[in-house]
Amino acid sequence: MKQKKRKLLKLCLVIVIAVSFGVIGTGFHRDISADDETYRGLKIFSDVIQLVEKNYVDPVDTKELIQKAIQGMVSSLDPHSQLLPPEAFEELQIDTEGEFGGIGIVITMQKGILTVIAPIEGTPAYKAGVKAGDVIIKVDGESTKEMALWEAVKKMRGPKGEQVVITVVRKEESEPIDFEIVRDIIPIESVKHIPLKSGYGYIRITNFQKNTADDVEAALRKLHAGESLKGLLLDLRDNPGGLLNQAIEVSDIFLDDGAIVSIKGRLKRHTKEFKARRNRKKLDFPMVVLINGGSASASEIVAGALQDHKRALLLGTTSFGKGSVQTVETLRDGYGLKFTIARYYTPNGRSIQAQGIAPDVEVKHRFVEEEMEDEEEGLLKEKDLKNHLEAYPYEEDEADKKESGDKKDKKKSKKRRTESRYGPLNAEGLQADNQVMRGLEILLSYDIFKDSSQ
């Protein structure tokens, strides 16, 4: 019994050391001298595990108990820190790679229900007839009830040519529908572009993955082909973020000098300023950047940099407000640890954390043909999340806390129109978007005033 107890204590110590110091790779060890308080805490932890293991009404999995304990510890720090089991760690790495084997749908959890945001145009799911709003109740006959989002994604992804069956419930149908779908290679297209009018271009970035900056430059070359650009609309709405280096590189495309973003952490190595490099070809056309409550993290870095340098006018509604930087460290046995190491600040020193970026021109979204606003009042922002970081270190903003609480009380159940991000990009759809049209009007007006002043 004593030997088993010592074994458990040793296991707990190893896990806590790994989480506390971000151990990288198997076999990487550090010597620590635990103080009495830490030792007593670990002893209690060991005692609890042993008591539960031996006396709980049903048999328990000790490994699962420890994993959940670590997850609880890390998630109590802030909403973006988490322990990643091997499968979740693998999915996180795939999401930034640019392509994967799967069926081609964007999904989310709405009140614990696995829901299709949209099928991606041209993919197997799109061709099979899967629609936005479909509720997935089974994958290969297994219920999705209480299934984590990453688990559902894992089950639907797989090698090209293999079949998967998803069962959906659709509002207009009385019975569930089975879709037998053969997986294919799904490209993750983060950049789309289209001419809005002669001399005026539109670029949409849906997320920041490893090739985003290159894709933006390629889109600019195509929009420039044949005639010079008089103005550009950069759409960052509903862009949840992604890779920090890609946000920096995209900003650098449009800036000639000065800071892009600075990150400040508790440790010196987590504090750094990123600056723009002088461009060989000066891009001096006016820009309008579209943002909304779904614009977060990396997209806020781009918007903040362009706004502070007065390189672009921001139009839309206030962004999400995720101004923290996460890193992912590799643990042993395929696990990963994602945790927050710094806050980021715009060139003018503004913290976006729990505040967001306010547009220069506020325009709420509505569809022209419906004359109905797509309000964002009911959408969660960073400051509504449990355990969120404050805007600046060691600051408490009571007004923010009260507003956050009030917002939670006022939450509305409204369907967001995000599926357009993943569908085809066409001029007709953009002409029905009042924010896009307002942005184009501003660019046209700038050109008129510029000509009249010469």
pLDDT digits (tens, 9 = 90+) for 68-121: 899 899 989 998 898 988 887 877 776 666 667 899 887 877 777 898 877 877
Does one domain contain both 132 and 280?
no
Question: Which domain covers residue 45, as residue numbers?
Answer: 2-76
| 112 and 229, same domain (yes or no) | no
Contact 357, 121 (CB under 8 A): no
pLDDT of residue 58: 95
- Which of 169, 187, 205 is a domain's end point? 187
Cβ neighbours of 451 (radius 10 Å): 8
In the predicted model, is pLDDT for residue 16 greater than 50?
no
Instruction: Say how many domains are in the chain.
Output: 3
pLDDT band at 383 (very low <50, low <70, confident <90, very high): confident
What is the domain-level CATH number for residue 157?
A: 2.30.42.10
Cα–Cα distance for residue pair 247/338, rounded to 1 Å: 19
Distance of alpha carbon 425 from alpha carbon 191, whole angstroms = 11
Q: Pairing relation of β-strands 361-362 and 177-182?
A: unpaired
Average pLDDT, the chain: 82
Amino acid at 29: H
Query: 330: which strand partners?
Result: 336
Query: Looking at residue 397, what is its pLDDT?
Result: 45
Between 324 and 149, residue with greater pLDDT: 324
| Domain membership flag for residue 112 | yes
Q: Would you state the structure tokens that stand for residue 360, as one six-digit string?
A: 């220069």
The answer as to whether 91 is a domain residue is no
Q: Which residue from 297, 435, 310, 290 is spatially nearest to 359, judged by alpha carbons?
A: 290
Residues 177, 212 share a domain: no
Mean pLDDT calculated for residue range 25-39: 54
pLDDT score recorded for residue 394: 58
Residues 311 and 287 sit within 8 Å (Cβ to Cβ):
yes
State the greatest distance between any 2 C-alpha atoms of the chain, in Å, as a whole number. 89
Angstrom distance (rounded) from CA 411 to CA 379? 7
Q: Are residues 205 and 349 in the same domain?
A: yes
Q: Which pLDDT value is given to residue 398?
A: 42
Is residue 89 one of the residues assigned to a domain? no
Percent of the chain whose pLDDT exceeds 70? 79
Domain boundary among the residues 76, 91, 124 is at 76
Please indicate, yes or no, if residue 87 is contained in any of the structural domains.
Answer: no
* Structural domain contains residue 64: yes
More confident residue, 293 or 375: 293
Q: Are 176 and 206 in a shared domain? A: no
* CATH code of the domain in which 369 resides: 3.90.226.10
Mean pLDDT of 239-247: 89
Answer for the pair 229, 223: CB distance below 8 angstroms, yes or no: yes
361 and 315 Cβ atoms separated by less than 8 Å: yes
pTM of the model: 0.74
Within-domain flag for 207: yes
DSSP 242: B
The pairing of beta strand 287-291 with beta strand 313-316? parallel
Distance, CA of 419 to CA of 429 (rounded, Å): 12
User: Is residue 197 domain-shared with residue 116, that is, in the same domain?
Assistant: no
State whether 161 and 280 are in the same domain. Answer: no
> Is residue 47 assigned to a domain?
yes
Scanning the structure block, which residue is given the tokens 């609890």?
A: 48
* Angle 66-71-72 from CA coordinates, rounded to 5°: 100
Final residue belonging to a domain, choices 125, 152, 187: 187
Is 202 within 8 Å of 427 (Cβ atoms)? no
Which one is predicted more confidently, 33 or 409?
A: 33
Are residues 356 and 281 part of one domain?
yes
Are 225 and 157 found together in one domain?
no
Q: Would the pLDDT of 9 be above 80? A: no
Residues annotated as part of the active site: 297, 308, 322
Q: Is the same domain home to 250 and 363?
A: yes
Q: Mark whether 202 and 170 lie in a shared domain.
A: no
My answer on whether 240 and 388 are in the same domain is yes
